[in-house]
């Protein structure tokens, strides 16, 4: 599930090994509107603008499995995933989607080999630093959710800087879940509500869904509950992601590994969403 998660127009050769990246040297970023990756995309005719979800969430899965048959290290799979995310971010900007939440690293992912975790954290940090200009230019606001107390302090500072620089952007809100878990999110929300009860700010009888939602990590957005969740790699589970927020989310599972998930795949997911009847527990 690891992925380098900030929007960078970094093209990846999918069939040949790439030079090993230096964790201390950020990937080179080119801002382009030349008809290729970053060009404005009109809404495909098979999609209806009025039926687009406000919030799309993505579990970007399959980086290592994409890399293995190509004779590449898992880290190269993470790097290749940048291309897919960049494309999706730009399509969301063009197609009127207001919030995109991506699962970059779960609380369970930190149990992976230390070498892989350390590489990912360094790469995430250098990528975040190098992409600030891109996000500012494109009007993308970045919010990072999760337990950042367990990530390197330098990364914490970088996250704070990126969030501050992009805080007034309105085109798209990109929420990156880093060291995040749905159970963690609910537990920390309950603790905050309990402290308010202890301090006399809230009565136990007044606790409701709204009060809890205001303490969840997704309180950073106007649209905390995704309309559509996409998971790649063929796995049919939500893996402890946004457990509260996904209560009535439409789920879409793609067999593609994340680095291979492209525009046509995104259109298929959105078209599936638009053909569903969303009843939210009621009858129509």
Q: What is the 3-state secondary structure of the chain? A: CCCCCCCCCCCCCCCCCCCCCCCCCCCCCCCCCCCCCCCCCCCCCCCCHHHCCCEEEEECCCHHHHHHHHCCCHHHHHHHHHHHHHHHHHHHHHHCCCEEEEEEEECHHHHCCHHHHHHHHHHHHHHHHHHHHHHHHHCEEEEEECCHHHCCHHHHHHHHHHHHHHCCCCCEEEEEEEEECHHHHHHHHHHHHHHHHHCCCCCHHHCCHHHHHCCCHHHHCCCCCCCEEEECCCCCCCCCCCCCCCCCCEEEECCCCHHHCCHHHHHHHHHHHHCCCCCCCCCC
Active-site option among 33, 34, 61, 118: 61
Answer yes or no: 61 catalytic: yes
- Active site (catalytic) residues: 61
């Amino acid at each position: 599930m690891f992925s380098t998660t900030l929007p960078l127009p970094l093209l990846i050769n999918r069939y040949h090994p790439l030079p090993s990246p230096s964790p201390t040297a950020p990937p080179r970023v080119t801002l382009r509107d030349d008809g290729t990756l970053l060009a404005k995309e009109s809404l495909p005719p098979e999609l209806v603008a009025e039926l687009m979800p406000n919030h799309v969430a993505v579990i970007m899965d399959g980086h290592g499995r994409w890399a293995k048959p190509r004779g590449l290290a898992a880290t190269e799979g993470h790097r290749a995933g940048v291309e897919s995310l960049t494309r999706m971010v730009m399509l969301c900007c063009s197609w009127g989607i207001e919030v995109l939440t991506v699962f970059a690293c779960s609380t369970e992912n930190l149990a992976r080999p230390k070498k892989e975790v350390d590489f990912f954290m360094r790469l995430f940090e250098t990528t975040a630093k190098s992409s600030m200009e891109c996000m500012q230019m494109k009007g993308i606001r970045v919010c990072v959710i999760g337990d950042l107390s367990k990530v390197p302090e330098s990364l914490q500072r970088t996250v704070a800087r990126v969030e501050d620089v992009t805080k007034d952007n309105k085109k798209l809100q990109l929420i990156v879940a880093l060291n995040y878990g749905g159970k963690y999110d609910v537990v920390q929300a309950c603790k905050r509500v309990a402290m308010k009860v202890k301090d006399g700010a809230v009565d136990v009888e007044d606790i409701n869904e709204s009060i809890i939602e205001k303490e969840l990590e997704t309180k950073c957005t106007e649209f905390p509950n995704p309309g559509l969740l996409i998971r790649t790699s063929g796995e049919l589970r939500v893996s402890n992601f946004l457990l509260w927020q996904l209560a009535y989310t439409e789920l879409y599972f793609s067999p593609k590994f994340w680095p291979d998930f492209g525009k046509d795949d995104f259109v298929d997911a959105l078209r599936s969403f638009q053909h569903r009847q969303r009843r939210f527990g009621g009858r129509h």
